[in-house]
Amino acid sequence: MNALAVQVLKSLPESNPSELVFPEVNAAHLSVYTRRVFASVGIKDASFHSLRHTAASWLVMEGVDLYAVGRILGHKTPRMTQRYAHLSPEFMAAAVNKLDGVFAGALPEPR
């Protein structure tokens, strides 16, 4: 978890000694609950899983490499994470541009 998530969790009242943050929420119905909350604030066609996709997308757009994103999401194969690769063209360009440093001075100057 990032620092902001930890701060939010620490700010919640400690009314329940359980390790669960929301013990009254049935995990099997989490997606249903989340859809209701989203609908109540005008967000359509979103679910709890949408939050996961959004986090992955934001990580890639911030330059986090796909291997790390896959590990964070718990993907079993790199192919599962590849769906986010299109969100990072600048990252891919930066990777290819690293070759410029490898060949610096190796080629003759143009005439």
66 close to 82: Cβ distance less than 8 angstroms: yes
pLDDT, tens digit, 9 for 90 and up, residues 22-61:
778 888 888 888 899 999 999 988 888 889 999 999 999 9
* Amino acid at position 28, single letter: A
Per the structure block, which two tokens stand in for 67? 């291997």
pLDDT, tens digit, 9 for 90 and up, residues 54-92:
999 999 998 898 999 999 999 999 999 999 988 887 777
- pTM summary value: 0.66
Q: How far is CA 22 from CA 15, 33, 66, in A?
A: 10, 12, 31
How many beta carbons lie within 10 A of that of residue 36, not counting itself?
Answer: 10
- Residue 25, C-beta contacts closer than 8 angstroms, at least 6 positions apart: 33
- Residue 38, C-beta contacts closer than 8 angstroms, at least 6 positions apart: 44, 46, 47, 50
